[in-house]
């Protein structure tokens, strides 16, 4: 079981739970076609963002496999919401997890995605006792691959045309890290 204590701070970022006040900032990037491009969902209207925000607000603890925690990523200096990260407990028996992240394009290229996701690796390995954590991405998303590489994850698989997404076949790349490879910051 894992229930993080917030806030979690890094050099430039503060990670916290979502609140209803995050609606418009979250919608500002979830509504963008370039954000949804490599994800399973289309750009979201305000009502859809609100529904998913409600889920993010509720997902605060990992009590059993299949559950996730959603973390709001903010700039420590200003409090501005720049994106979100997720840690999913995918298997209790095999001690497996998955990480993910989405940032507003205005904040791409600054190292925020890796900086925000690194503490989630720590939560998974150090606090939940996971053995292995993966990151999965659309094979066309080179920027996301660079984030996982920056975290020290290794590319393990390139699955060709393994999913039918948004009316076309998409290939997936899987990165992973084992607990013994995790280097505490």
The DSSP-derived string for the chain is: -B---S-EE-SSEEEE---GGGHHHHHHHHT-HHHHTTSSSPPP-HHHHHHHHHHHHH---B-STT-EEEEEEEETTT--EEEEEEEEEEETTTTEEEEEEEE-GGGTTSSHHHHHHHHHHHIIIIIS--SEEEEEEETT-HHHHHHHHHTT-EEEEEEEEEEEETTEEEEEEEEEEEGGG----
| Res. 43 pLDDT band, cuts 50 70 90 | very high
Asked if residue 86 has pLDDT above 60, the reply is yes
pLDDT of residue 183: 81
pTM above 0.85, yes or no: yes
Q: What is the pLDDT of residues 116-167, one digit of tens each?
A: 999 999 999 999 999 999 999 999 999 999 999 999 999 999 999 999 999 9
Mean pLDDT, residues 65-71: 97
Average pLDDT, the chain: 97
Please report which confidence band the pLDDT of residue 185 belongs to, taking 50, 70 and 90 as the band edges: low
How many whole angstroms separate alpha carbon 40 and alpha carbon 166?
A: 7
Provide the token pair at 36: 């949804």
Confidence of residue 184 (pLDDT cuts 50, 70, 90): low
């Amino acid at each position: 079981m894992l229930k993080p204590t917030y806030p979690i701070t890094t050099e430039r970022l503060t990670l916290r739970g979502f609140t209803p006040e995050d609606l418009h900032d979250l919608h500002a990037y979830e509504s963008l076609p370039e954000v949804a491009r490599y994800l399973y969902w289309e750009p979201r209207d305000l009502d859809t963002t609100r529904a998913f925000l409600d889920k993010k607000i509720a997902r605060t603890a990992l009590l059993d496999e299949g559950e996730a925690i959603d973390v709001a990523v903010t700039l420590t200096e200003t409090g501005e919401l720049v994106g979100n990260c997720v840690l999913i407990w995918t298997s209790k028996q095999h001690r497996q997890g998955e990480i993910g992240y989405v940032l507003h394009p205005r904040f791409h290229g600054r190292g925020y995605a890796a900086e925000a996701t690194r503490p989630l690796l720590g939560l998974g390995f150090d606090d939940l006792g996971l053995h292995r954590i993966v990151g999965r991405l659309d094979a066309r998303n080179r920027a996301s691959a660079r984030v996982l590489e920056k975290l020290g994850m290794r590319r393990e698989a390139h699955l060709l045309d393994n999913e039918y997404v948004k009316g076309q076949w998409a290939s997936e790349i899987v990165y992973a890290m084992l607990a013994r490879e995790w280097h505490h910051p």
